[in-house]
């Protein structure tokens, strides 16, 4: 199938808890295992798996220690980045390869004709005004600048990944804890016509948006659901902890010759069997 398209799988907001602890009655590790097994069964041809932050609920060593065995036998290479619920020193224990020489969980991967640039939006220095909002510091932005330039040299189109969306999505409590220096990111992406798409997590719901470029045009933005708990579809007022038990999901990124496609696959509350009606 690789001569038709190249494929990557994306899981975000796993929120693994310590053993015996649940979130609105759901076991995040059980949900993630279910989703990963579903994905590996149906997409063994995927070339990469990306875990787009919030791997754990509180960033504790016990939570990362529960996640690592669930990934140990995965036959597809896994790339990890940070979310607001992660802690770098604890995530580094099972995933030392996640961090580049700058000390940030930023990675560049090739997927057929695409270059995937995975950003680290965790606010290490408390630069953003709230605890859970995101921030990309100058060091990380310099890495992005260099990678965007390298992609031009290599004639690659680019898909960027960031845990925190840089645009509002209509849930006010989540919009308040988005990417606090969103303009620093968007100004760079808008100035790079080879950037084709931005994929985010953090919100726990499937969302399609476009971030307008003041100079014209817009960048398409997609937000993926969690494999575990979702934010209820109550727009406007609410809290960032409002959650609902709806089917968990993961993303499937396809790189075709001239087109980028992002599918979302709900895996829970369904046996996934394909039937034909008459
Ligand atoms: Fe998050």
What pLDDT is stored for residue 271 in this prediction? 52
Structure-token pair, residue 265: 């696959």
Structure-token pair, residue 74: 């995965």
What single-letter DSSP state applies at residue 96?
G
What pLDDT is stored for residue 273 in this prediction? 56
Q: How far is the CA of 52 from the centre of ligand 1 (A)?
A: 9
Q: How far is the CA of 128 from the centre of ligand 1 (A)?
A: 14
Across the strands, what pairs with 32? none
Largest CA distance in the chain: 60
Domains present along the chain, CATH in parentheses: 6-266 (3.60.21.10)
Structure-token pair, residue 24: 């609105």
What pLDDT is stored for residue 269 in this prediction? 59
What separation, in Å, do the N-terminal and C-terminal C-alpha atoms of the chain show?
Answer: 29
Q: How far is the CA of 163 from the centre of ligand 1 (A)?
A: 7
Across the strands, what pairs with 236? 171
What pLDDT is stored for residue 140 in this prediction? 98
* Residues having C-beta closer than 5 Å to ion ligand 1: 54, 83-84, 202
**What does each of the 278 residues of the chain score in pLDDT, given as a tens digit?**
556 899 999 999 999 999 999 999 999 999 999 999 999 999 999 999 999 999 999 999 999 999 999 999 999 999 999 999 999 999 999 999 999 999 999 999 999 999 999 999 999 999 988 889 999 999 999 999 999 999 999 999 999 999 999 999 999 999 999 999 999 999 999 999 999 999 999 999 999 999 999 999 999 999 999 999 999 999 998 889 899 999 999 999 999 988 999 999 999 755 555 565 66
Contact 207, 196 (CB under 8 A): no
Q: How far is the CA of 212 from the centre of ligand 1 (A)?
A: 23
Q: How far is the CA of 86 from the centre of ligand 1 (A)?
A: 9
Q: How far is the CA of 45 from the centre of ligand 1 (A)?
A: 28
Q: Which residues contact 211 (CB under 8 A, 6 or more apart)?
A: 166, 167, 186, 189, 190, 198, 218, 219, 221
Q: How far apart are CA 37 and CA 39, in angstroms?
A: 5
């Amino acid at each position: 199938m690789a001569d038709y398209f190249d494929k990557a799988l994306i899981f975000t907001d796993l929120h693994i808890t310590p053993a015996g602890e649940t979130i609105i009655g759901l076991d995040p590790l059980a949900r993630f295992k279910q989703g990963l097994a579903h994905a590996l069964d149906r997409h063994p041809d995927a070339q990469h798996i990306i875990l787009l932050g919030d791997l754990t609920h509180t960033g504790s060593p016990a939570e990362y220690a529960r996640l690592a065995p669930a990934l140990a036998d995965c036959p597809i290479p896994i790339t990890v980045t940070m979310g607001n619920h992660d802690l770098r020193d604890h995530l580094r224990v099972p995933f030392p390869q996640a961090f580049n020489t700058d000390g940030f969980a930023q990675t560049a991967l090739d997927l057929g004709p695409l270059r995937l640039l995975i950003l680290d939006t965790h606010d290490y220095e408390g630069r953003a005004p709230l605890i859970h909002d995101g921030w990309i510091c100058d060091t990380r932005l310099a890495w992005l600048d260099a990678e965007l330039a390298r992609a031009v040299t290599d004639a690659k189109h680019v898909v960027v990944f960031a845990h925190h969306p840089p645009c509002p999505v209509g849930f006010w409590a989540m919009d308040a804890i988005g990417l606090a220096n969103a303009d620093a990111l968007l100004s760079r992406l808008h100035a790079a016509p080879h950037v084709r798409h931005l994929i985010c997590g953090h919100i726990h719901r499937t969302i399609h948006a476009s971030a307008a470029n003041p100079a014209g045009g817009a960048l398409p933005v997609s937000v993926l659901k969690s494999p575990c708990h979702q934010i209820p579809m109550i727009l406007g007022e609410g809290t960032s902890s409002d959650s609902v038990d709806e089917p968990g999901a993961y993303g499937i990124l396809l790189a075709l010759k001239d087109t980028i496609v992002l599918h979302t696959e709900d895996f829970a509350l369904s046996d996934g069997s394909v039937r034909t009606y008459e």
